[in-house]
Amino acid sequence: MRLGGMKAALAAGCVAPIAAHAQESAAANSGDTGWILTASAFVLLMTLPGLGLFYGGLVRARNVLSVLMHCFAIACAVSLLWAVAGYSLVFNGAEPWIGGMGNAFLANLAPLRDGLTIPENAFALFQMTFAAITPALVVGAFVERVRFGWVMAFSLLWTLLVYFPVAHWMWGGGWLAAQWGALDFAGGIVVHTTAGIAALVVALLLGPRKGFSKTLMLPHSPALTMTGAGLLWVGWYGFNGGSALAASAGAASAILNTHFAACTAALVWIGIEYWRIGKPTSVGIVTGAIAGLATVTPAAGYTGPAGAIILGLLGGAICFYAVQLVKQKWAVDDSLDVFAVHGVGGIIGSLLIPVTMLPAIGGIGFAEGNGVSQQFAAQALAVGVTIFWTAVATFLCAKGAALLVPMRVTEEAEHDGLDIASHGERGWEID
């Protein structure tokens, strides 16, 4: 559920294009519309090129192009799936479990999204960018060892069976928001929890890279990773600020909270690094920033700067130790720490929404009859259901895609690198 109309049902009826254009110009707020269009571009920037560069710098040089290809191709495929059925399944109607098909191929969009001041096609565009980045986040779990065809089949199945239902439950009038009052301002549950749990499941199914836990698999270009992280941070202004769905004080507050949480978590992360290894690293500071951004996302519109800083502190510290837990204690090769950073961060932020809403720390407060305990119960239910559904459906999607294309590349391809083995090209010239 988002501020400014995420509880609202779709406007009914089919409006002819000419009439829609005339009504849009008369009723839509140009400032709000312009901000949502800009925010949509920001969120797409996060996937293309932000996430690709962030992930690409973290892998070995012989696999950088394959990661960029995964992010690029997923964005293309999921965008088309969104147009064909996704928007309709998420936002058409307020049925408890899934939407209808009345807006298939983006048909019958209203000149003004019900409860908002923007055209429905602008709303659909903004939501499309969220659908595109979520399966792309999962890529970090299986880099350097997975077949391109399997990635594409899995990503489409997963978006259809995981992202669309959870997005409907939380943002499209479904049961978790409408009946239980669960909150998710910009994707702590819908984006980060689903991607994090999926990453863990796929990493367990796929198995570790050759040499994992025996040799250091160092990032080939921390500079590339820092560049990608910078683009992600800037894009997150649209991710969280755009989720206010208006050019408003609420959007400005969400952006401020986003920035403060990222700053805090980045410094916490390198502080722990300095304490443990004596050196703050570039990969550490950007990973900390991403952890803070993921943690504040579900609460960005409900809290104030103090709450955002608290989330940054907790997100930075807990996600740091979650990385060590997954890699060292569990010995799971979630290669780029998707679960430990996005999954754990999104879960923490989602569960702490009731605390960060307290007016004492700048939160927006609760509706009459609601309070911390009631809201926490709703958040815990939403997180628990999402974890369970995502884990089961991800397993089925991974196995289903493997019926079409095997998951893992051959040992020879893994040794030579996926750039050559999968795409016949090199990201870099390697001496």
Q: What is the pLDDT of residues 344-397, one digit of tens each?
A: 999 999 999 999 999 999 999 999 889 999 999 999 999 999 999 999 999 999
CB neighbours of residue 30 within 10 Å: 11
The four Cα atoms 124, 130, 134, 136 give a dihedral, to 10 degrees, of 90
User: Which structure tokens are listed for 390?
Assistant: 């995502």
Would you state the pLDDT for residue 430? 62
Reduced to 3 states, what is the DSSP secondary structure of residue 98? coil
Q: Give the residue carrying structure tokens 């909270």.
A: 257
CA distance 427 to 431: 13
Q: Do residues 286 and 55 lie in contact, with contact meaning Cβ atoms separated by under 8 Å?
A: no
Reduced to 3 states, what is the DSSP secondary structure of residue 246? coil
The four Cα atoms 132, 138, 139, 143 give a dihedral, to 10 degrees, of 180
**Phi and psi (nearest 5°) for 255?**
-70, -45
Fold of 27-405: Ammonium transporter fold (1.10.3430)
Q: Do residues 298 and 188 lie in contact, with contact meaning Cβ atoms separated by under 8 Å?
A: yes
For residue 193, give every residue at least 6 positions away whose Cβ sits within 8 Å of its Cβ, in sequence order, or none: 343, 346, 347, 350, 383, 386, 387, 390
CA distance 169 to 128: 16
Q: Collect the ranges in the chain with pLDDT lower than 50.
A: 1-25, 431
Would you state the pLDDT for residue 20? 39
Would you state the pLDDT for residue 216? 76
Pick the closest to residue 250 from 10, 2, 44 (CA basis): 2
DSSP letters along 78-129, please?
Answer: HHHHIIIIIHHHHHSS--SS---STTGGGTT--SS-TTSSS-HHHHHHHHHH
What residues does each domain of the chain span?
27-405
Pick the closest to residue 268 from 224, 226, 321 (CA basis): 321
This prediction's pTM: 0.93
**Phi and psi (nearest 5°) for 98?**
-155, 155
- Average pLDDT along the chain: 93
Q: Do residues 90 and 159 lie in contact, with contact meaning Cβ atoms separated by under 8 Å?
A: no
Of how many residues is the chain composed? Answer: 431
The four Cα atoms 404, 56, 129, 254 give a dihedral, to 10 degrees, of 140
Reduced to 3 states, what is the DSSP secondary structure of residue 132? helix
Bond prior to 49 in cis (omega within 30° of 0) = yes
Would you state the pLDDT for residue 214? 76
